[in-house]
Amino acid sequence: MLLDAWRLALGTLTAVRVPPPEQVDRRVAGMAMVLAPLAAVPLGAAVTLVGLLGHWLDLSVWVTALLAVGALVLGNRAFHLDGLSDTVDGLASSFDAERSLAVMKTGTSGPAGVAATVLVIGLQTAGLAALFGRADWWQAAILGGVAVCVSRAALVICCARGVRPAREDGLGRTFTQTVPRSVAAISWLLVTVVLAAVGAWAGFPWWRGVFTAVLALVAVGVIVSRAVRRFGGVTGDVFGAAVELALVAILVGLS
């Protein structure tokens, strides 16, 4: 079961090719969401590597940061950005839940979704540029990669018990309400500890990591609660939006 969960997490959340899981049920799906930060290690490593190479090649920190965001987008096939765009379009389209869900399901990006995508990419780039420009640049580059990994813990909030699905098909049936609340709480406690410890190692005061983890949790909580009120629950698109907003909050908090 653990191997199936690992394959599901890695194959879904990254562009890394892995054998398909032999079995996918709600237990496997829930475990995959808990493993999401570990499955994102290749993405975090890519961001760190781009940051290091940018310094060694004497590139502008802004160019380096934008290349790092580009590597991240390629590494997950723009999966989460697509969810962000669809979610914002759904929120902007109508106060009727069915109409909003229909808009989200079309897969096209409207003005609101495009604006949200540009804003999120811009904030992520600015946050990484601030990290890459620090004097302790190589530790900060590693911290940027860690930020990418821990942002995927947003998925345990989306899949926590009590957060109902907006639809009974797709991701709603398989992934939602598969993570016990206690496990979700422990996951975010670990996120807080990791950000505080790695942040302190990279030259930040320990409380900055704690503040950043809380900021990310609030951002995820806001988008999830908003989705529940407007759509009747969460969808796979909301999962992607939560991950992108968590990463924005972490990078902004560290910048």
Average pLDDT per consecutive 10 residues, the chain (255 residues; last block may be shorter): 78 82 80 92 94 92 95 87 83 72 70 89 95 86 94 94 81 81 94 94 91 95 91 88 95 91
Nearby residues of 229 by Cβ (< 8 Å), 6 or more positions away: none
pLDDT of res. 82: 82
pLDDT of res. 207: 93
pLDDT of res. 34: 92
| DSSP H helical ranges for the chain | 2-13, 26-34, 36-39, 41-56, 61-75, 79-93, 97-105, 111-132, 137-151, 154-158, 171-174, 181-201, 206-231, 236-254
pLDDT of res. 123: 95
pTM over 0.85: yes
- Report the C-alpha gap between 223 and 87 in whole angstroms: 9
pLDDT of res. 170: 63
pLDDT of res. 158: 93
Nearby residues of 53 by Cβ (< 8 Å), 6 or more positions away: 64
Read off φ and ψ for residue 31, nearest 5 degrees. -65, -35
Residue spans per domain, the chain: 2-254
Tokens read off for 126: 């600015």
Distance of CA 215 to the CA centre of its chain: 14
pLDDT of res. 9: 81
Tokens read off for 34: 């808990």
pLDDT of res. 179: 92
Q: Which residue(s) pair with 234 in the sheet?
A: 165
